[in-house]
Amino acid sequence: MKEALRKKGVPLTPQRLMILDVLQGSHDHVSAEDIFHEVQKSYPYINISTVFRTLDLLKDLDMVTVTDLGGGCLRYHTVTNSHHHHLICHRCGSTTEIEDSVLEPVRRAIDAGYGFEAQMHHFAIWGLCRECRHTDKEQQ
Amino acid sequence: MKEALRKKGVPLTPQRLMILDVLQGSHDHVSAEDIFHEVQKSYPYINISTVFRTLDLLKDLDMVTVTDLGGGCLRYHTVTNSHHHHLICHRCGSTTEIEDSVLEPVRRAIDAGYGFEAQMHHFAIWGLCRECRHTDKEQQ
DNA sequence: ATGACGATTGCAAGTAATTGCAACTGCATA
DNA sequence: TATGCAGTTGCAATTACTTGCAATCGTCAT
């Protein structure tokens, strides 16, 4: 990741290096606040807007994905070669990871129909999970 | 819409009626701010949090969709029986409306694979439009 | 070395949206 | 008519994120 940025001629400042370390060190979906607090441990002078601006930069370079997984803030995730998406139940809040291949037919249909290159790297798909669908039916 | 709310036993306060009128009167995708200013014309004492809380209520009842179409704020749209989605080019900003049927294979695959009822009523799909893909290739 | 430049940063102020809370409303019940 | 209560509203404060701007940094030519 650092190598890729260097190749593109993007200046690797100390702040950016620390943010990258946190992003790559955590395999979860982290919030800007998470990163901010983690970097603060070693460099207390870091500013939250630097974190947001770095994440923005990485997003524009397609190196991180930004997703609203609920919980009141956006979540950031480094782009790996195997994309994935999330099913989120808006009743019970449970989440399930799904493979990117599920979205492939849509990508193809959009390309064929509109010539549009859909970059769906990390989607949050809201709905009702298996369990909540069943309790719904029982109630009726 | 008002009838549907009345049936569900949701109190139809004057504020809610005015918000509903604006929502149904504008066939576009409106922001909370748009609604707020429109209602203010006839009732200057309306509060922006009432607008947000009403939109939240309508969202929970699946009567409006909430979508981030860019532009710095969320856009609200009454749910009609014919859903649609948006392709947004993150290079030139152009938007294209697409039919819901494009997402049908995904809905089916997610149902078959996970038993999850995906409620994709109003998606913003970001990517590169036909024109920007071509200029991209020319540059290389 | 020196100065010019473009990019980055920290800070403060701003924006969109949410939340806590007290006051109010409509409605049922005594 | 008075009382209680659930639901709603307005207000103020807060949260997540963005933006404008001055100060700083790196680096490149002189």
pLDDT for A140 equals 46
Q: Which of A55, A79, A103 is the last residue of a domain?
A: A79
Q: In chain B, whose CA is at the least distance from the CA of A99?
A: B110
Domain end position, chosen among B40, B61, B80 = B80
Examine the domain organization and report whether A35 and A89 are in the same domain. Answer: no
Token pair belonging to A77: 């995730």
Q: What is the CATH number of the domain that holds B112?
A: 3.30.1490.190
Averaged pLDDT score across all residues of chain A: 92
Contact at CB, A115 and B125, closer than 8 angstroms: no
On whether both B63 and B123 belong to a single domain, the answer is no
DSSP B18-53: HHHHHHHH--S-B-HHHHHHHHHHH-TT--HHHHHH
Confidence of residue B80 (pLDDT cuts 50, 70, 90): confident
Q: In angstroms, rounded to a whole number, what is the distance separating the alpha carbons of residues B134 and A15?
A: 36
Mutation target for B interface from A56, A69, A125: give the one with most B CBs within 10 A: A125
Same domain? For A135 and A93 the reply is yes
Same domain, B93 and B72: no
Name the closest nucleotide to B75, judged by C1' and CA. C16
At A136, the pLDDT band (50, 70, 90 cuts) reads: low
Q: Judge whether B76 and B64 are in contact, CB under 8 Å.
A: yes
In chain A, what percentage of residues exceed pLDDT 90? 79
Q: Is residue A87 domain-shared with residue A75, that is, in the same domain?
A: no
Same domain, A89 and A122: yes
pLDDT for the residue numbered B103? 94
The mean per-residue pLDDT over the stretch A62-72 comes to 93
Tokens of B105: 């294979």
State whether B88 and B72 are in the same domain: no
Nearest to A104 by CA among B117, B123, B106, B118: B106
Residue B35's identity, in one-letter code, is I
CA angle B58–B62–B54, rounded 5-degree value: 5
CATH number at residue B3: 1.10.10.10
Among A90, A102, A110, select the one facing B87 at the smallest CB separation: A110
- Do B65 and B21 lie in one domain? The reply is yes
Q: Look at residue B85 and tell me whether its pLDDT is greater than 70.
A: yes
Nearest CA in chain A to B65: A126
Q: What is the 8-class DSSP label of residue B68? A: -
Q: What is the CA A57 to C1' C1 distance in angstroms?
A: 35
| Contact (CB<8Å) A109/B105 | yes
Tokens of B29: 């995708």
Are B1 and B70 members of one domain?
yes
CA/C1' separation A140–C11 (Å): 57
Q: How many domains does chain B have?
A: 2
B44 pLDDT higher than 50: yes
pLDDT tens per residue, range A103-112: 999 999 999 9
Check whether residue A87 and residue A102 sit in a common domain. yes
φ, ψ of residue B128 to 5 degrees: the values are -115, 130
B107, B116, B128: which to substitute to probe chain A, counting the most A Cβ within 10 Å?
B116
pLDDT band (50, 70, 90) for residue B20 = very high
* Domain end marker among B31, B58, B80: B80
- Specify whether B19 is located in the same domain as B72: yes
Residue B98 shares a structural domain with residue B121:
yes
> A60 is in which domain, residue-wise?
1-79
Task: Kindly provide the residue ranges of all beta strands, DSSP E only, lying in A35-138, ordered along the sequence.
Answer: 64-67, 75-78, 84-89, 95-99, 117-118, 124-128
Stretch B117-123: mean pLDDT: 93
How far apart CA B28 and CA B69 sit, in angstroms, is 12
pLDDT higher than threshold 70 for residue B83: yes
Cross-chain CB nearest to A98 (options B68, B110, B119): B110
